[in-house]
Structure 1
Amino acid sequence: MVTKNRYEAALQTVLVELLKAVVSQTKRTAKFRTLLRRLDKTLRRLEPIMCGHERLARVLDRPEKETKMFIYYMENGKEIVLKCSRIKCWNVYKKFVHANKLIRLDHELLRFFQVELQDNLSTRFRDLSLEGEVDQVLSSVTKQAGGFSSSSNIPGLLDLIIGFDFHLKEVKRMLLKDDIQVLTVSAPGGCGKTTLAKMLCHDAEIRDVFGDNVFFVTVSRTTSFKTIVQKLLTHHLQVNNFELQTDEEAKNELENMMRKMDSEKILLILDDVWSESESLIQDLKYQIPGYTILVTSRFMFSRIGSTYELGLLNDEDAKALLIHSAFPCDSSQVNVPDDLVSKMVKICKGFPLALTVIGASLRDQSELKWKTTLQIWSEGQSIFDLNNPLLLSLQTSVDALKDFPVDHDCFLDLGSFPEDEKISASALMDIWVALYNLDKEGMYTIEYLLELSSRNLLSLVLAGKEASELEGYCNEHYVTQHDLLRELAIHLSSQEPIAQRNRLLIEIRGNVIPVWWIEQAQQPINARLLSISTDEMFSSVWNDLKAPNVQALILNIRSKKYALPHFIRNFNELRVLNITSYRIFPTELHELSLISFVPNLRRLRLEHVSLSPSIQSITELKNLEKLSLIMCAIGNALEFCAVDHPMLPNLIELEIESCYDLKELPEGLCSLNHLVKLSITNCHELGALPEGLGSMSNLETLRLHSCTRLSKLPKSIGMLRNLVFLDISDCLSITSLPDQFGELNELRVLKMSGCHGLEELPDSVTNLTLFEDVICDEDTSYLWSYYESDLCNLKINVVEEDRFANFMKIVA
């Protein structure tokens, strides 16, 4: 008993000291603040156990050796915490390693006290391995369109926001009242409701009150209560290996999570809530002190709580915003008369979105163009209701693209994707290449994205890279679009009779097939682009559809299981097929064998779906040129690939991105000897590449970045005599390059920042006679400096930040 009491005292002392260290370091350093706050929460959850003699006695009722080891580990844990402030910002590798140590420390605390922390959510949390958790955080940083990223819960702000200071002050005043639980910010579309909500997220006073307990969720028309709760739990626990089955379970789990946050204040922001979703707000209300909900909506929910009506911009602010949008480089160099600017401001009616979009459409335009635009408005030449000045003004911006027909069509294609979802830039480019015969390399296709972005008709997010560095590879870059602009694209695409439309956009709720589809089942439609969106209740019951001219098919899905429509076997002209699941978890994809009947399919993109061995049917696509598997659950689906089994004879490009369970590549894939581009990125479980990689004799581009467990490159890599571009950046586990590396006679560019495990280079690199650029960090640059005299054309480009630097900015 004396021994146990001694351990009780020692354990209490070491945990108190650890807590003091966590509190002090949280104040001193921002690099690891998120992880330190997580530790702080864990330690405070343990306080009732430490103060309760009986509960602590149960915890210590285990082998003495284990208790002593735990106390020793916690003592070292204090040193780990105190070291946080000594880690330099620029040392990405040490930051990554230290983050691992902090996560393991938190993991060990939960494991040791698991007897006294038996609740459903914490059990799920504890069951995660350390490595799995790190991978999930890494995956969340590099995730593409269609998935939820807990690390990006709080959205970013625009560089310049005009005219919202008063609104921010008023909403804060109302929000911080003790008697308000639900506050709705209401205004028409395009007034800046979301902008105001984002400003609140980043406001210092709000952060002081709510800390990290600010949750931001965009609520589309199809968002369910269960989906919202899943996102909230995923963000709070930073785990995503469990799935809520019912709304009742979701309600219980959310209430448990909030009550466990004790006296901490909580702010839940529900952005863009539609009138039919009023019940969701009611379901999310809990009588918990300090818990507040902020809703942004075009509608008013007066029965639920208080309302703040967001007004339009006054003339002064509206004029400033228009001038900034039209003359972004220098607002003092306005080259049109002031009266024209004032008339334009008056017509835009103070709508921030209209002022931004119209200003961008008039950028670098002559005075005549301004006058012509005003004349068009005054004559009412618009298909929109003249009582809707915002849509009228946006229509004019799209009309300005009439001299650029491809840009115009590209804008209309954006309506093919679900509202409030990120759209992969790569997915868009695949569609545009197929529909408009653009360059297959994507080098010029990106210009259409940049053009629409420059006109503020979409927002292009380049994932930290400059546009000039895209190199035709866009999987990590995505597009977002204001819902009004999306509505405009849909409206403009829906002017002709259904059978005659160039792009047909179909939305199915539940299993209710549109009436026209049932009535015209035998009548062919003329569309070249077909988009079908279904919700989580859809059971894959399809009516027949005749669409002989469809060249691009986009399937937006949310159900747990999904079977491809049987009618695609008759789509003889289909060139590109894009299947994307917008669930939190991958959708089980069935009837994939139907695509073997599509003779002219050139590009196939599968995103966030769970693949079965039926993926073998893909190998029968003799004309397929590009295959993309993005965030897919692959499992053993690739095991069928045999070396002696001919497949995909015309495949030029293969992308495997963020497939979390991909551990190895079968040798059979190396038989793709026509392959020019191979990208296997952000696959953190991939440990090795097949030795037969060298048989891909036509390979020119090989991307392997952020495959953090990849330990080496195969010796056969020297046989890739046509390889021009190699990216192994952030491959942390690579410790050496094979001697055969110097046989890459055509290699010109090597990206290898973040390869901190690499200690030396093989002497054979002196044979890289055409080698021009190595992009690396400072540590790796020293390895190359020894060979500069041998490689006369070599330019060493040192980058200060890479993917893990950005990762650490988010988690620290």
Structure 2
Amino acid sequence: MNKATEIVVSAVAGAFASEVLKLAIGEAKLVFAFGYVSKELASTMEDLLPIVTEVESMQDVGELKTLKDTIDKARVVVEECKSVKKWEIHLKHYYTRRILKRCNGLPLLIEVLGVPLKGKPLYYWKGQVESWSEKETNLDGVLKLLQPSFTALEPHLKECFMDMGSFLEDQKIRASVIIDIWVELYGKSPTSSSLAYMKYLDDLASQNLLKLIPLGRKEHEDGFYNELLVTQHDVLRELAIHQSKQEAVLERKRHSLVIQGDNYPDDLLLSQRESVRFLSISTDDLFSSSWEEMDSFQFPKVEALLLNISSSNYALPGFIATMKKLKVVIIINHGPDPAKLTNLSCLNSLPNLKRIRLEKVEITFLDILQLQLGRLKKLSLVMCSFGEVFYDTDETDASKALPSLQEIDIDYCYDLDELPYWISEAVSWEKLSITNCHKLSILPEAIGNLSKLELLRLCSCISLSELPETTARLNNLQFLDISDCLGLRKLPLEIGRLDKLKKISMNKCWKCELPDSVRNLENLEVKCDEETEMVLWKGLEEKMINLNVQVEETEHNLNLLRLL
């Protein structure tokens, strides 16, 4: 290169470099001044860095010598601004504002839409925002906004989410209700654990598609979920219903009938009935239990039936008898007083019925015994009224009437003061749970006959003063829960004979006397409050093999008021 050419190149390079460096410094000043940068500017800053580096390597050439200070300054500011991640943070703030605006400030939409975006790259945020139509402001638009949250679910969670649309609007559902249904609808083996389906609820809650509200202890041990409420926003329920209706008519697995007074909805097409597996029927307090218009209906594939009732007298529909695949029946009364149930005999002919749950109904133990349900595994009675308890069961052998019954759950049954004798005859039982029955004062001596019993839960039975001595014959008992039995004064003298007993929960039982034989229990885990630990168990730690006492903090939970 001759001298003249070198001078020309130097001048051109100096002029170009000067403009580039001024641009770099100017853009950098904008970044520092406003703390915000566009994606285009971020790319520009990234492109400027190698140019500045190249200019810096040429700063000894002609005109570039005079730009040394500018080059140094440009190098520093571009280095400080080169990280694209910084730009993404600002852009995410920009898209966050767009998302908040699109959600119209609705906390539900913000919660649900925010979960899929968490941890996602910038292009995902941009694509989400650009996919929305500014004209969509009605329910259809909201459902479209929520659609990605449903689409992202795994197939089994999609099914479970759609099931939520079968419950009433604003209904507060005990988790045990939902789990009973899912165990029978989706359980692949007779021994399917409720823990797996509790995880499904947790998974949906983690996506903000429903809410879990604990009523009592945070831990839900051994499949006991009566103290956990499930609620769902109305819009999410609409999404569940909407998604269910996207299925082809011949393949729809859910159907909800709403009957106001005696005004029935339009007749279902036969094709719609053929595929239904989960049927819910809701009636109001004016319903007369006249089922003539539906007597000819058949639902051959229904496996789960949910009846929401509100009237004081309710006759079960006769067409239930045709549901030969029915596995679980849930009857929930939303009226102020227990409802009198009639026509229970329609349940007799159901060969696959495994679970029955009755809430706030009037029924006798003899009614249950006379159902003769050979495959029934679990019976749940919540807020039920039993009236007079009949003990003469000579005509009906409980072990033959309910030969497969493994679990009974009695909760908040306020007029229950004593259990019928036949309960001790159902020797197939593995779990007996009687909770919040404040008048229950005594258990039958024959309870010791339940040789297969693994769990005995007696929480909050405040009038219960003692356990029968025969309790010490429950050789398979693994878990005894007597928490909040405030009137309990002693345990069976020979409780130490229960070799398989590994866990006792006895919160607020410090007035209960422990027999000497308790020292024979090995590898025992005790859960209790601090006072019970100090009074009863503190002195036994060195006298028992592997005693593990866990002190639980007292919880003051007002969520129970949500049931009112």
TM-score normalised by the shorter chain: which range applies?
A: 0.7 to 0.9
Aligned residue in 2 for 1:755: 509
- Per-residue CA deviation, residues 10-69 of structure 1 (Å, 9 max, x unaligned), is xxxxxxxxxxxxxxxxxxxxxxxxxxxxxxxxxxxxxxxxxxxxxxxxxxxxxxxxxxxx
Structure 2: distance between partners of 1:530 and 1:516: 15
- Corresponding residue for 1:551? 303
Structure 2 SS opposite 1:456: coil
Change (3 A) 1:366 1:694: farther
Q: Residues 592 and 617 of structure 1 are in contact (CA less than 8 Å); yes or no, is this contact kept in structure 2?
A: no
Partner SS, residue 401 of structure 2: coil
Q: Contact 2:497 / 2:520 at 8 angstroms: preserved in 1?
A: yes
Alpha-carbon RMSD across the aligned residues, in angstroms, is: 2.8
TM-score normalised by length of structure 2:
0.77
- 1:605 counterpart SS class: strand
* 1:405 match: 155
| Structure 2 CA distance for partners of 1:690 and 1:569, relative to 1, 3 Å | same
1:715 is matched with 469
Say which is worse superposed, 720-729 or 333-342, in terms of deviation.
Answer: 333-342
Whether 1:624 and 2:376 are equivalent positions in the alignment is: yes
Structure 1 residue aligned with 2:181: 431
Change beyond 3 A, Cα 1:337–1:363:
closer
Query: Letter of the aligned partner of 1:405 in structure 2?
Result: P
Shift of 1:463: 1.6
Could you tell which deviates more after superposition, 367-376 or 434-443?
A: 367-376
Assess, with a 3 A threshold, how the Cα gap between structure 1 residues 641 and 477 changes in structure 2: closer, same or farther: farther
- How far did 1:809 drift? 11
Structure 1 residues 385 and 527: CA distance shift in structure 2, 3 A: farther
* Structure 1 residue 395 displacement after superposition: 2.5
Q: Distance in 2 between matches of 1:547 and 1:808?
A: 38
Match of 2:479 among 717, 720, 725: 725
Show the counterpart of 1:49. none
Number of equivalent positions? 467
Q: Does 1:584 align with 2:333?
A: no
Is residue 547 of structure 2 the alignment partner of residue 794 of structure 1?
yes
> Which deviations, in whole Å up to 9, do the C-alpha atoms of 1:402-450 show, x marking residues without a partner?
xx11111111111111112211100000011111116643122111111
Residue 339 of structure 1 corresponds to 94
Matched, 1:701 2:459: no
Cα offset for 1:386? Answer: 7.3
Residue 507 of structure 1 corresponds to 258
Q: How does 1:338-487 map to 2 (within 5 A)?
A: 338-367=93-122, 369-374=124-129, 376-377=131-132, 388-401=140-153, 404-437=154-187, 440-466=192-218, 468-487=219-238
The reply on whether 1:676 has 2:430 as its aligned counterpart is: yes
Q: Which residue of 1 aligns with 2:52?
A: none
Contact 1:667-1:691 at 8 Å conserved across structures:
no
- Alpha-carbon deviation of 1:589? 0.8
Distance, in Å, in 1 between the alignment partners of 2:137 and 2:124 is: 24
**Pairwise CA distance, 1:640:** 5.7
| Per-residue deviation, residues 111-160 of structure 1 (Å, max 9, x unmatched) | xxxxxxxxxxxxxxxxxxxxxxxxxxxxxxxxxxxxxxxxxxxxxxxxxx
Shift of 1:365: 4.2
Write out per-residue CA displacement over residues 599-642 of structure 1, whole angstroms, 9 at most, x where no aligned residue. Answer: 10111111111114662356511111111001111123564655
Structure 1 letter corresponding to 2:461? C
Residue in 1 that maps onto 2:30: none
- Aligned equivalents of 1:629, 1:640: Cα separation in 2: 21
- CA offsets 1:156-208 (integer angstroms, 9 cap, x no match): xxxxxxxxxxxxxxxxxxxxxxxxxxxxxxxxxxxxxxxxxxxxxxxxxxxxx
User: Does the 8 A contact of 1:351 with 1:390 survive in 2?
Assistant: no
Give the corresponding residue for 2:411: 657
Distance 1:528 1:788 in 2: 53
Match of 2:267 in 1: 516
Residue equivalent to 2:495: 741
1:417–1:614 CA distance, 2 compared to 1 (3 A):
farther
Alignment deviations for residues 754-799 of structure 1 (CA, whole Å, 9 cap, x no partner): 12432x3111001112313343442443311222112231111222
- What's the offset of the Cα at 1:808? 13
| Matching residue of 2:524 | 771
Q: 1:501 corresponds to which letter in structure 2?
A: R
Report the CA distance between 1:477 and its aligned residue.
1.0
1:396, 1:809 → 2: CA distance?
Answer: 34
Q: In structure 1, how many angstroms separate the alpha carbons of the residues matched to 2:126 and 2:405?
A: 52
Q: Which amino acid aligns with 2:445?
A: E
Q: Is the 8 A contact 1:592 1:614 kept in 2?
A: no
Change (3 A) 1:755 1:386: closer
- Residues 185-240 of structure 1: CA distance to partner in whole angstroms, max 9, x if unpaired? xxxxxxxxxxxxxxxxxxxxxxxxxxxxxxxxxxxxxxxxxxxxxxxxxxxxxxxx
Counterpart-to-counterpart distance in 1, 2:534 and 2:93: 54
- Separation in structure 2 between the aligned mates of residue 447 and residue 410 of structure 1, nearest angstrom: 11
Quick check: 453-462 or 771-780, which moved more?
771-780
Alpha-carbon separation, structure 2, partners of 1:372 and 1:448: 29
Contact 1:641 1:669 in 2 (8 A): no
- Relative to structure 1, the CA distance from residue 729 to residue 526 in structure 2 (aligned partners, 3 Å threshold; closer, same or farther) is same
Letter of the structure 1 residue corresponding to residue 312 of structure 2: K
C-alpha distance in 2 between matches for 1:614 and 1:719: 27
Amino acid at match of 1:690: P
Mapped contact 1:745–1:770 kept (Cα < 8 A): no
In 2, the alpha carbon distance for the partners of 1:636 and 1:809 equals: 29
Kindly report which structure 2 residues correspond to 1:232-251, keeping only aligned pairs within 5 A, or say none.
none
Give, in whole Å, the separation in 1 of the partners of 2:445 and 2:490.
16
Aligned position for 1:20: none
Q: Distance in 2 between matches of 1:687 and 1:344?
A: 58
Q: Counterparts of 1:617 and 1:693 in 2: how far apart (Å)?
A: 17
Q: Which moved more, 1:354-363 or 1:670-679?
A: 354-363
Q: CA 1:334–1:498 in 2, change beyond 3 Å: closer, same or farther?
A: same
SS of equivalent to 1:435: helix
Distance in 1 separating the partners of 2:139 and 2:429? 55
The residue aligned with 1:690 is 444
Alpha-carbon deviation of 1:499?
5.6
SS in 2 for 1:579: strand
Partner of 1:597: helix, strand, or coil? Answer: coil
Alignment CA distance shift 1:683-1:387 (3 Å): closer
> Relative contact order (alpha carbons < 8 A, sep ≥ 6): 1 or 2 greater?
1
Q: Deviations over 1:536-558 (max 9, x none)?
A: 11111111311100010000101
1 CA distance for matches of 2:370 and 2:155? 34
- Give the partner amino acid of 1:661: D
Q: Contact (CA 8 Å) 1:523, 1:546: kept in 2 or not?
A: no
Q: Is the 8 A contact 2:175 2:230 kept in 1?
A: yes
Inter-CA distance 606–405: structure 2 relative to 1 (3 Å threshold) = same
Partner Cα separation in structure 1 for residue 121 and residue 355 of structure 2: 42
The percent of aligned pairs where both chains have the same amino acid is 42
Q: 1:408 to 1:641 in 2, by over 3 A?
A: farther
Q: 1:422 to 1:336 in 2, by over 3 A?
A: farther
Q: 1:676 to 1:342 in 2, by over 3 A?
A: same
Distance 1:635 1:789, change over 3 A: same
Unaligned runs of 5+ in 2: 1-87
Runs (5+) with no aligned partner, structure 1: 1-332
Three-state SS of the structure 2 residue aligned to 1:337 is helix
Query: How far apart are residue 360 of structure 1 and its match?
Result: 2.7
Q: Report how far residue 400 of structure 1 moved.
A: 2.0
C-alpha distance in structure 2 between counterparts of 1:749 and 1:806, whole Å: 24
Amino acid at match of 1:453: A
Greater CA radius of gyration, 1 or 2?
A: 2
Structure 1 residues 786 and 591, CA gap change in structure 2 (3 angstroms): same
| Alpha-carbon contact 1:593-1:617 (below 8 Å) kept | no
Provide closer, same or farther for how the CA distance between residues 388 and 416 of structure 1 changes in structure 2, counting only shifts above 3 A: closer
Q: Is 1:602 aligned with 2:351?
A: no
